[in-house]
Chains A and B, each alone.
Chain A
């Protein structure tokens, strides 16, 4: 077995801690169950009562976080948009698109973090949250606070604020603050102005200038020396605050480290340090400074935390390591899945490691999407993620979507639509079957029928049609007429269903007094064998009113056919699978019916022959 980086995470489940018991478990669709048990099956268990609790455990509980929900929703939109970026786009325009995607993700993350700042949160992003709180939200709040007060320079946090602004490189604002101090305090006015000037004149690399790096370097050196000179000359000697600020601007490590609390973490320390000592640092050298910043900041008092490892890997541009560290540190696949996907689109994964390339992307997306399926509505986002996983996305979706509880008809329809759009016929069939059977059990035959039609399940359609027919025999009328009347081509799904549809049509024709058409249809149902034998008696009985009309409806030929059917039915000839025919002979009521039919048929035959034989024709 290969070496592992560390021990697997251990989760402790509370319970009676007896050395004789074990843990029983099983998987649910999105969770696990564990409970205490004793596998050594004996008839008599120990007298000590067991622990009666079942624990339901789950990964990715973040999926239920209200705040993250917005993040999931919005990032889903960005994700789908990214997948659809034109493949033909190359070079600059493609790059521009990708950068935009990255910015979109970042703004969504930021929005989420700002919202988290408003609310008490859980463990996720705790460290970054601290940073945001201090560096964005709190600072701005503090700034407003101080500026808004009656006498800003007397505010207790005045110097703290100025220091933070300098640490963050927000020199313009820092200068503004200093000018307030200068205005109100003649003794320090001069010093403030000088420091303010230094702040104003610090050379910075601004985009769009034609300045080269070397030129900047040179200018910066001069500026740096000027600051140094002031320090040496003791310009700020009478103000410890100002002197400290000057040292910070010189990138003095000791001075920076004094502000540990305001810096809050080593990467801020890194940035400030670089800003004021190596402003033209090259990306390649970044990780040197990162490592030393980390070491200096921690000062041997504490060890790096997982988030630190992520950043260190990032500074080394080791994408693989970043992804790995993220997977370990973060409790949820969201970040690493979207990041890897973006990197893959930028073709960065492949260039870094030929081994896995986009397979890594798929693996992470599958993990993330699976997590979404644990949520009663976020699962819909998961569908899209699976769609963009070419290898295992489809089968994963198939397995997950079948487990969505079909608590409402609306939800069922939604699930079905998704399956139908993707030609997941097995799942459609299975889901429709579940709904159809539920409908049958609740005696909602119309609903059952529509589900079986949607599932294209002939066997089930037959079953439901039989129920309809049985109901008709018992009650003398149909339920769900609308549905049966509008079957259309679906009628062809099964013979029994066709019969049901046609039989209903017969009733409709009769209702519209289109007796001749009704009569023909009725007869054809028997002669074409569409009607099940067991139903013939009912059909023949339905023919009675047509036989007893004043006008002759059934022709002689048709009457002969009907007679043949009746004799067929009552002859006692063994018809396989139809025991009813046999029973007919023994039943008194049936005998009477048969007699009536014979009489009616005979009379009709007579009238028909006469009618057809006479001059007017048939």
Chain B
């Protein structure tokens, strides 16, 4: 990664100011569990323990409620936007063991599909790269991962990986699409043969990598072992054209690992410890150009990390909860009264 070539104390890897540019009042009546921006940053989807999924138009600093979607019978844990080429489609998963796919038709949002194939809470949903078609991966507390593929005319085909993780699966994340071979003169109408892969994290303390075989079945390709407690989240970094693949994982054990694989050599993944936090680390997420990793900790903070020249990960910013008015670059310990 380019950032590796920076000098030890290079610019930009130490201080980043951020400012609040908009505050959206979701009016959720209970805890919010997820908030996701759509592809273009124009719409915001949120979901909550109040069992609803809400969609807002947030262009130009505004907030207009577009939809208040009801259908789940329990807290909704995650939402995920599909790629815009398929239209406006949103997936949500819930404690009620269901995955619902919502679609905007003629200006109104409706439930377009409901998947009830799990025996327990569905914890995570993630859309595959659009190049593969419209495919949704779902991870559940019943330990299984299901893959829903849209086949047309309102039909969805289901493939299930049972016992993907013992006790439960907490997170799923797709690898970016890598077009195999050369792109020169693809015969028209034919789809290139993508090798589809995704990563999952579970209560067996493992990160697992899955690959679709030629017969369409999903096989466990790799087990990544380094955590000593439940893996809470995995995030496969977007591709920036380099041959290395990168995955971030975080766990109940307070550790965040960065896994890298030099694709030239094949399937050797090496972990590097980003940091050991004092509490459970729940969530990790890559920026779209993959140069910043955001990590949410149990200690009420979100920290931003970047890789520096010698491969060390450096914390560049700290987004913290606090009382009072919004201020930027306030040193820790100071708080302004509103």
Contacts and interface: CB of A to CB of B under 8 A. Distances in A.
Interface of A: 1-2, 4-15, 17, 19, 21-39, 41, 43, 45-46, 49-59, 61, 320, 323-324, 326-328, 331, 333, 336, 353, 355-356, 359-360, 362-364, 366-367, 370, 391-392, 394-396, 399-400, 402-406, 425-426, 430, 433-434, 437-438, 441, 456, 458-459, 462, 493-494
B95 A26 contact: no
Interface string B11-26: 1101111111111111
Contact of A17 (B30, B48, B321): B321
Contact of B329 (A11, A15, A58, A333): A11
A57 B40 contact: no
Residue from A15, A24, A362, A458 with most neighbouring chain B CB atoms (10 Å): A24
B58 A56 contact: yes
Interface string B191-220: 100000000000000000000000000000
Contact of B326 (A13, A360, A396): A13
Nearest 4 CB-CB pairings of A with B: A327-B11, A28-B37, A12-B322, A458-B188
Interface residues of B, number: 108
B318 interface: yes
A54 B301 contact: no
Contacts of A362: 2
B42 A405 contact: yes
B150 interface: no
A7 B317 CA distance: 9
Contacts of B16: 8-9, 59
B158 interface: no
28 contacts: A2-B308, A2-B310, A4-B314, A9-B316, A9-B329, A10-B329, A11-B17, A12-B321, A13-B322, A23-B319, A35-B32, A36-B31, A37-B34, A41-B121, A50-B31, A52-B25, A52-B27, A54-B46, A58-B21, A320-B7, A327-B12, A363-B3, A363-B11, A366-B2, A399-B238, A399-B240, A441-B87, A493-B188
A1 B36 CA distance: 32
Interface in B224-258: 232, 238-241
Nearest to B60: A376
B126 interface: no
B7 A10 contact: no
Contact of B285 (A27, A336, A353): A27
Nearest to A356: B7
A434 B44 CA distance: 19
B331 A403 contact: no
B10 interface: yes
A364 B58 CA distance: 30
Given A56-B58, A391-B2, A364 B12 contact: yes
A59 B15 CA distance: 11
Contacts of B41: 28-31, 403, 405
Contacts of A426: 179
Contacts of B8: 2
B188 A494 contact: yes
B323 A17 contact: yes
A342 B285 CA distance: 35
A7 B331 contact: yes
Contacts of B294: 25, 27, 32
B108 interface: no
B283 A433 contact: no
A529 to B, nearest CB: 15
A327 B15 CA distance: 8
Interface in B70-108: 74-75, 77, 83-87, 95
A8 B316 contact: yes
Interface of B: 2-3, 5-12, 14-37, 39-42, 44, 46, 48-49, 58, 74-75, 77, 83-87, 95, 121, 123, 130, 179, 183, 188-189, 191, 232, 238-241, 280, 282-283, 285-289, 294, 296-298, 300-304, 308-310, 312-332, 335, 338
Given A23-B319, A27-B37, A27-B286, A5 B9 contact: yes
A43 B319 contact: no
Contacts of B95: 41, 43
Contacts of A396: 240, 289
Given A56-B22, A399-B289, A39 B330 contact: no
A453 B88 CA distance: 23
B14 A5 contact: yes
Given A4-B314, A12-B326, A23-B321, A39 B288 contact: no
Contacts of A430: 85, 130
B301 A23 contact: yes
B241 A4 contact: no
A29 B6 contact: no
A24 B283 contact: yes
A370 B289 contact: yes
A402 B40 CA distance: 8
Given A22-B298, A323-B11, A405-B40, A12 B320 contact: yes
B323 A367 contact: no
In terms of DSSP, what is the predominant structure of the interface of chain A? mixed
Contacts of B37: 26-29, 31, 33
B10 A54 contact: no
A43 B75 contact: yes
Contact of A50 (B15, B32, B188): B32
B325 A14 contact: yes
Contacts of B29: 49, 52
Scoring A23, A367, A391 by chain B CB atoms within 10 A of each residue's CB, the highest score goes to A23
Nearest to B77: A41
A371 to B, nearest CB: 11
B35 A433 contact: no
Nearest to A406: B40
Contact of B85 (A12, A400, A437): A437
A391 B121 CA distance: 44
Contacts of A59: 16-19
A34 to B, nearest CB: 6
Contact of A24 (B34, B183, B303): B34
A43 B74 contact: yes
B23 A55 contact: yes
Contacts of A35: 32, 35, 46
Contacts of A15: 321-323
A458 B189 CA distance: 5
Nearest to B336: A12
Given A10-B317, A25-B294, A41-B77, 19 more contacts: A4-B315, A11-B18, A13-B322, A14-B322, A15-B322, A27-B285, A33-B37, A41-B75, A43-B75, A43-B95, A50-B48, A56-B22, A327-B15, A356-B10, A363-B3, A370-B289, A399-B288, A425-B183, A434-B85
A15 B321 CA distance: 7
B132 to A, nearest CB: 13
Nearest to B36: A26
B150 to A, nearest CB: 13
A6 B14 contact: yes
A21 B321 contact: yes
Contacts of A23: 296, 300-302, 319, 321
Nearest to B305: A8
A325 to B, nearest CB: 9
Contact of B314 (A2, A45, A324, A353): A2
B20 A54 contact: no
Nearest to B241: A395
A542 to B, nearest CB: 27
B176 to A, nearest CB: 10
A362 B14 CA distance: 18
A34 B58 CA distance: 14
A324 B35 contact: no
A320 B23 CA distance: 39
Contacts of A494: 188-189
A61 B320 contact: no
A395 B25 CA distance: 36
B188 A58 contact: no
A306 B338 CA distance: 27
Contact of A12 (B27, B30, B335): B335
Contacts of A2: 8-9, 308, 310, 312, 314
